[in-house]
Amino acid sequence: MNREQTMGAQPEASEVAHVIQPDGYVASSKDDVDVNRPHVDLDASAVIQTDLTQNEMNLSATHESPQETSSTIIADGESQLPEPSLPIWLADEFGDELNELLPIALRHIKAKRGGDLLGIIMPAAAYDARSKRRGKHFILVIIKGEEQSAQWIRVKRQLIDISYRGQKGLEEELQTSLHLPSFLRKARVLFERDGIASKILDVATRRFRQGPPYPSVNEKISLKAECYHWLGKMQEATDHPDRARYLLPTFLDQVVFSWFRLRGLWHVSAAEELQFILVRDKLFGQGLRDVLNENDTGKQIEMAKRLATYVLKDVPWPVRID
């Protein structure tokens, strides 16, 4: 029999059964081999599910295509193993809720990024005074390369928004961004390598002290056009109160952002927004409060119009081309 004929040939069952075993050998049920077992193909592209409940959490990841930049993962902290905890010097700065959530979130981030991880930063949590909701938990992860992606994870029924940013891109954005310097002003470093996260916060602090750039005439006109665009959408929905109330928060966000830009101020967090405005512009702050407390949709639209007129009274209208 030549080599081509011997390849793929299997011994007969009788040949396997009469093999002489060595002295002292004890037969085991695991020694029985089914020579007729069907062949199993291993597809490299197949999705492999692993039970991670023995490793302190249960991760259930949604399918993510290469084009998508965000995903949702469930990181359930229930486990028989003891939960990790934050260092005492860091745990004292957070409440009991974050002391339970952060160790699980940090473990997930470290396992996901591995050697690419350069730093983990957590901005101050905020309470949205306008929507009367507790601010979401946000974590900024600094990594190697130029990646820019986002991910939601759920830890013990709480959602955490994780943003992955490359170090170089983040440093460049800090020089021009209108939000990042104030957003990272009170942030805390949860993890860092080679002091990179601390350097990022130092750059954000220096940029914050310099103040935002003064808006140009074109930017002012753009702000006015955007505010009146959403105001017009609300006026068109007068006969549909639910639609008008749905558009109201977008208009308020735009008119508040315009108020900060036109006065050369950094936009503060949602927790400090209303109080910050009331101290510096009582008329505008009280107008915002009245709009939020009003239940009649028609009156809300009229108040919103007065707010836009008050904030943008010195801004010229865009040039009309017929």
Residue 147 shares a structural domain with residue 233 = no
| pLDDT surpassing 90 at residue 302 | yes
Give the residue among 182, 204, 201, 205 at the shortest CA–CA distance from 261: 182
Residue 88 shares a structural domain with residue 168 = yes
| pLDDT surpassing 50 at residue 96 | yes
Residue that wins the pLDDT comparison between 156 and 170: 170
Residue 130 shares a structural domain with residue 96 = yes
Query: 75 forms bridges with which residues in the sheet?
Result: 59
The answer as to whether 4 is a domain residue is no
Please give the angle made by the CA atoms of 154, 152 and 148, to the nearest 5 degrees. Answer: 155
Domain stop point among 210, 240, 270: 210
The answer as to whether 322 is a domain residue is no
The answer as to whether 319 is a domain residue is no
Residue that wins the pLDDT comparison between 55 and 165: 165
| pLDDT surpassing 70 at residue 35 | no
Residues 6+ apart with CB under 8 A from 134: 125, 127, 128
CA distance linking residue 90 with residue 211, whole number of Å: 29
| pLDDT surpassing 50 at residue 210 | yes
**C-alpha atoms less than 13 angstroms from C-alpha of 184 in its C-beta half-sphere:** 28
Rg (CA), the chain: 30
Residue 151 shares a structural domain with residue 242 = no
Residue 100 sits in a domain whose CATH number is 3.30.460.10
At 115-139, the pLDDT tens digits run 889 999 988 764 444 444 555 688 9
Residue 203 shares a structural domain with residue 80 = yes
Task: Give the rounded percent of residues in the chain with a pLDDT score beyond 70.
Answer: 66
The answer as to whether 25 is a domain residue is no
Winning range, highest mean pLDDT, from 4-8, 50-54, 160-164: 160-164
Q: CB of 164 within 8 A of CB of 151?
A: yes
Residue 74 shares a structural domain with residue 183 = yes
| pLDDT surpassing 80 at residue 86 | no
What distances in angstroms separate CA 255 from CA 123, 219, 242, 293, 297, one per listed residue? 24, 14, 21, 17, 18
The answer as to whether 39 is a domain residue is no
Least confident span in 49-58, 178-187, 266-275: 49-58
Domain stop point among 149, 179, 210: 210
Domain stop point among 175, 210, 245: 210
Residue 161 shares a structural domain with residue 301 = no
Give the model's pLDDT for residue 265.
92
Q: CB of 254 within 8 A of CB of 248?
A: no
The answer as to whether 289 is a domain residue is yes
pTM of full prediction above 0.75: no
Residue 185 shares a structural domain with residue 242 = no
As for how many domains the chain has, the answer is 2
3-state class of 283 per DSSP?
A: helix
Least confident span in 1-15, 99-113, 188-202: 1-15
Give the model's pLDDT for residue 72.
52
Residue-number span of the structural domain to which 59 is assigned: 55-210
Q: What is the mean pLDDT of residues 46-68?
A: 39
Residue 201 shares a structural domain with residue 224 = no
Residue 184 shares a structural domain with residue 277 = no
Helices (H) and strands (E) in the chain, counts: 12, 9
Provide DSSP, 50-117.
---GGGT-EEEEPP--TT----EEEEE---SSPPP---HHHHTTS-HHHHHHHHHHHHHHHHHHGGGE
Give the residue among 72, 71, 50 at the shortest CA–CA distance from 155: 72
Residue 102 shares a structural domain with residue 203 = yes
The answer as to whether 34 is a domain residue is no
Residue 63 shares a structural domain with residue 127 = yes
Residues 6+ apart with CB under 8 A from 316: 217, 220, 221
Residue that wins the pLDDT comparison between 288 and 16: 288
The one-letter amino acid code at 249 reads: P
| pLDDT surpassing 60 at residue 41 | no
At 237-296, the pLDDT tens digits run 988 989 999 999 999 999 999 999 999 999 887 778 888 999 999 999 999 999 999 888
The answer as to whether 1 is a domain residue is no
